[in-house]
Structure 1
Amino acid sequence: MTQSSPEALLEPHISIQHGPAGPYPIDEGVSETGMRVAGLSRGRRILVVDSEPDGAQSLVCRLRRHGHEAIGVERGSAALQAYEDVDLVLLDLELPDLDGLEVCRAIRSVSCVPVIVVTARRSELDCVLGLQVGADDYVVKPYGFRELMARIEAVMRRAQWQPPTAKEILHGRLRIDVRSREVSLDGRQVALTRKEFDLLSLLATHPDTVIPRKRLLQQVWGDSWSRRTVDTHVSSLRSKLGDSGWIVTVRGVGFKIGNG
């Protein structure tokens, strides 16, 4: 972000003050136009965790221009102090004090706040690890800001998605408690991320039915995801359930629940 773009010149001026959890932008007013551009009825409080001050400040400014209340910190320890009061966390993995994966794991162990990893780490392994420790999405730098906005909206829609009205889903040795969002296999609890739980619940609600990939994307991921997204989460579910037979692939169509 060394070269100013025409769009960047339109960013509103936002002062930065430093506090215990890092630099926080001071709101000097967000126009109604900015909120209409994003299609929002209200802004969301977003925590940007990034060790690069220039990049973090630029992202914070652009988020605020689009109607969000964004704050920025540069260290993982600061993120662990600030996440409780936000609606969404944008988390870099390259932090000076803690590994971003550990920060994500720590947040997910005690909170359901949505987390989107935004990082330069682009390998498939890094992506899988990020999703397995609880990230709701994984965005690789450099990225398009419009894409990031779309992913933020998709993640927030999914966070509000409610699984089927049944209190409990029983499928062979698998028990899914919808109210507590807990899954157990042979009486042993299986820790799942929000998206993994929603995916498994959707499949288990329609036993012996092949659910098309497109429907999975629409109901669990909100349309803005790729084919690889479903495959990655199916792979993670199979690993956590200990048997690939729990999720059956029907080539060219989609997936259905199996019997392990």
Structure 2
Amino acid sequence: MSQPQAHIVVVEDEVEIQQLVADYLQHAGFQVTTFGEGDRALTALTEGALEADLVILDIMLPGLDGLELCQSLRQHSQVPVVFLTARHDEIDRLLGLRLGADDYICKPFSPREVVARVEAILRRQRWLSSSAAEQGTPGLLLDPAALKVKLDNQAIELTPVEFRLLQTLVENPGRVFRRDQLVNAAYDDYRVVSDRTIDSHIKNIRLKLTQVRAEQQFIQSVYGVGYRFEPDISTVSP
């Protein structure tokens, strides 16, 4: 069941698609605001004109495109972002995820699937906000309520997908997770996500952590299997 009156922002320049998505989301109980241009959406989202619980972006927008908009949003907010686009190439999907998107839906699409993906992401958000506690690693603090991470009192900006992956690993120190298990931890809609996508997310998390504590590699690669979190290992794995 969707969160009552959660606010979804849809940025789509094709009026028919914009209205179709908005209609289905409103029917599911969401409040919806639409934009046809990336520039106007960015201004509204970053200058306090409106607050969003989730943003749906087309990539090919007039003016500021969806990729640039997502990148700019991530400098201000960790609001979940879903790309809804006609660009099917894997490189576009990987780039979108690296820029901080939480999901990527290709056109043509099922409006019901869009609603289901939105509901799944918001369910994860509510679950993550249920508690905030230090996860047993000195200097590392995960705050699920705010989707924020601090290491040695320095804030680390993670996307919601990156946060869920790190939380899964941190809560199970020493346990080896296969990539498919990490997919299930990050996404609960059973879609197909490639190993390369998970590898890309892990690479981003590692980079952000080592920018604060360069001598320690928290997330260790287990060759041929997956990854594990080792809070006390200071050597960098290959």
State the TM-score bracket (shorter-chain normalisation): 0.7 to 0.9
What residue number does 1:257 align with?
A: 229
8 Å Cα contact 2:2-2:119 kept in structure 1: no
What residue number does 1:155 align with?
A: 121
What residue number does 1:97 align with?
A: 63
**Aligned counterpart for 2:90 among listed residues 124, 134, 142:** 124
What residue number does 2:202 align with?
A: 234
What residue number does 2:174 align with?
A: 208
What residue number does 2:78 align with?
A: 112
Residue 192, structure 1, aligned to residue 195, structure 2: no
What letter corresponds to residue 118 of structure 1 in structure 2?
L
> What do residues 4-40 of structure 1 show as CA deviations (whole Å, max 9, x unaligned)?
xxxxxxxxxxxxxxxxxxxxxxxxxxxxxxxxxxx44
What letter corresponds to residue 137 of structure 2 in structure 1?
L
Once residues 225 and 192 of structure 2 are traced to their aligned partners in structure 1, the CA distance between those partners, rounded to angstroms, is 15
Consecutive unaligned residues of structure 1, counting only runs of 5 or more, are 1-38
The normalised TM-score by structure 2 is: 0.75
Once residues 112 and 235 of structure 1 are traced to their aligned partners in structure 2, the CA distance between those partners, rounded to angstroms, is 19
Residue 80, structure 1, aligned to residue 48, structure 2: no
**Offset of 1:184 from its aligned partner?**
4.0
Residue 68, structure 1, aligned to residue 18, structure 2: no
**Offset of 1:240 from its aligned partner?**
4.5
SS in 2 for 1:128: helix
What residue number does 1:50 align with?
A: 12
SS in 1 for 2:128: coil
Structure 1 residues 40, 100: CA separation in 2 closer, same or farther (over 3 Å shift)?
closer
**Aligned counterpart for 2:149 among listed residues 182, 187, 190:** 182
Once residues 198 and 187 of structure 2 are traced to their aligned partners in structure 1, the CA distance between those partners, rounded to angstroms, is 9
What letter corresponds to residue 143 of structure 1 in structure 2?
F
The normalised TM-score by structure 1 is: 0.70
Once residues 137 and 171 of structure 2 are traced to their aligned partners in structure 1, the CA distance between those partners, rounded to angstroms, is 9
Structure 1 residues 125, 184: CA separation in 2 closer, same or farther (over 3 Å shift)?
farther
Larger Rg: 1
**Offset of 1:255 from its aligned partner?**
2.7
What letter corresponds to residue 149 of structure 2 in structure 1?
E
Once residues 100 and 203 of structure 1 are traced to their aligned partners in structure 2, the CA distance between those partners, rounded to angstroms, is 31
8 Å Cα contact 2:135-2:171 kept in structure 1: no
Give the total of aligned pairs: 218
Structure 1 residues 43, 82: CA separation in 2 closer, same or farther (over 3 Å shift)?
same
SS in 1 for 2:137: strand
Consecutive unaligned residues of structure 2, counting only runs of 5 or more, are none
Q: After the TM superposition, which of the residue ranges 247-256 and 73-82 deviates more from structure 2?
A: 247-256
Higher RCO structure (Cα 8 Å, ≥6 apart): 2
**Offset of 1:67 from its aligned partner?**
2.5
SS in 1 for 2:87: coil
**Offset of 1:44 from its aligned partner?**
2.6
Residue 143, structure 1, aligned to residue 109, structure 2: yes
Structure 1 residues 201, 67: CA separation in 2 closer, same or farther (over 3 Å shift)?
closer
**Offset of 1:252 from its aligned partner?**
7.1
8 Å Cα contact 2:11-2:37 kept in structure 1: yes
SS in 2 for 1:57: helix
SS in 2 for 1:46: strand
Once residues 167 and 235 of structure 1 are traced to their aligned partners in structure 2, the CA distance between those partners, rounded to angstroms, is 23
